[in-house]
């Protein structure tokens, strides 16, 4: 029998999947699936899917999933985690859901150190609705709402969230063209939630050839352009000593 190297928690009956050809989401799911297998958390994991292309993956893995309005997945996963504190809660959102319409939820989940893992798929556009400008669109990027080129915000989610507080969290950025790093960072984020009962986030720079209107070579080049604006790496993994409160002296 052919040894298909797919994760054990992969839902075979839901394939072929619903994503566009060349999309990066399935690559992230492979990395997430291997980690769910290795950590043996398949029966104890729930995944919240934001509206956006994430919704296409409600049955991608054999785990419990739920779907919410655009931008609302993070508070729903926070709420579920409160009812099931021993479960592993994962919120999967696009860059629009995480950094625009749902930004308040992301900021407050991080401020409160909610024990969930957020995976932000950053494809530099609003993918599901036809490639509109997102807060992550690159300078000059042509999108369906910026035909002359985006006047970009270049929102730096991981840096902003890591610098907000000294409190210990795990925050990293990776990209779908580096599967080993992607799997490693997602693993660390899940372990952080499980072992430290704290907040973790991995931003994944991802392909969207459908809305970028790119061929295979141009898709790789666009992702490399994204990496220049959005550096990959771990933003905050180490414990910092709390600052002394001068007012108490
Ligand atoms: C409350 C609400 N507002 C707007 C929409 C319309 N909507 C659906 S998906 C989407 C964009 C999603 O973009 P992003 O979060 O970047 O995810 P992607 O599709 O790129 O993965 C929008 C605006 C909605 N479904 N719900």
* pLDDT tens digits, one per residue of 95-148: 999 999 999 999 999 999 999 999 999 999 999 999 999 999 999 999 999 999
Q: What DSSP designation does 24 have?
A: S
Closest CA to 124 of 95, 148, 158: 95
Closest CA to 178 of 228, 238, 227: 227
Between CA 205 and CA 174 the distance in angstroms is 6
Structure tokens at 115: 């024990």
- Who contacts 152 (Cβ-Cβ below 8 Å, separation ≥6)? 136, 137, 138, 139, 140, 141
* pTM of the predicted protein model: 0.94
- Who contacts 54 (Cβ-Cβ below 8 Å, separation ≥6)? 25, 73, 92, 93, 94, 97, 121
Structure tokens at 25: 């989401």
Query: Whose alpha carbon is nearest atom 2 of ligand 1?
Result: 70
Domain ranges of the chain: 17-238
Pocket of ligand 1 (CB under 6 A): 51-54, 69-70, 94-97, 121, 123, 125-129, 134
Q: What DSSP designation does 61 have?
A: B
Between CA 165 and CA 172 the distance in angstroms is 16
Query: Whose alpha carbon is nearest atom 11 of ligand 1?
Result: 126
The string of pLDDT tens digits covering residues 34-66 is 999 999 999 999 999 999 999 999 999 999 999
Region 163-186 average pLDDT: 93
pLDDT > 90 in the chain, percent: 89
Q: Return phi, psi of residue 243, to 5°.
A: -70, 145
CA 37 distance to own-chain centroid: 19
| Domain 17-238 fold | Rossmann fold (3.40.50)
Instruction: Answer yes or no: are the C-beta atoms of 29 and 6 closer than 8 Å.
Output: no
SS3 242: coil
Distance 202 CA to ligand 1 centre (A): 19
Between CA 174 and CA 203 the distance in angstroms is 6
């Amino acid at each position: 029998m052919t040894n298909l190297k797919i994760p054990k928690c992969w839902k075979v009956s839901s394939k072929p999947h619903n994503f566009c050809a060349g999309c990066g989401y399935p690559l992230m799911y492979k990395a997430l699936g291997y980690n769910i297998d290795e950590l043996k958390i398949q029966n104890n994991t729930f995944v919240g899917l934001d509206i956006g292309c994430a919704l296409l993956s409600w049955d991608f893995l054999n785990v419990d999933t739920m779907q919410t309005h655009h931008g609302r997945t993070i508070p729903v996963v926070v709420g579920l985690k409160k009812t099931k504190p021993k479960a592993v809660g994962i919120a999967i959102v696009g860059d629009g859901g995480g950094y625009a319409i749902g930004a308040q939820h992301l900021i407050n989940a991080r401020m409160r150190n909610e024990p969930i893992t957020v995976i932000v798929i950053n494809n530099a556009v609003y993918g599901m609705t036809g490639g509109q400008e997102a807060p992550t669109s690159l300078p000059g990027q042509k999108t369906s709402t910026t035909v002359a080129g985006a006047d970009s915000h270049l929102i730096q989610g991981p840096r902003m969230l890591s610098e907000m507080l000294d409190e210990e969290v795990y925050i990293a950025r990776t990209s779908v063209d580096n599967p080993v790093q992607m799997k490693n960072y997602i693993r660390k984020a899940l372990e952080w939630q499980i072992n430290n009962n704290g907040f973790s986030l991995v931003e994944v720079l991802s392909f969207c050839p459908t809305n970028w209107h790119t061929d295979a070579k141009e898709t790789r080049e666009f992702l490399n352009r994204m990496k220049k604006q959005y550096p990959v790496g771990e933003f905050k993994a180490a414990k910092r000593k709390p600052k002394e409160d001068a007012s108490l002296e």
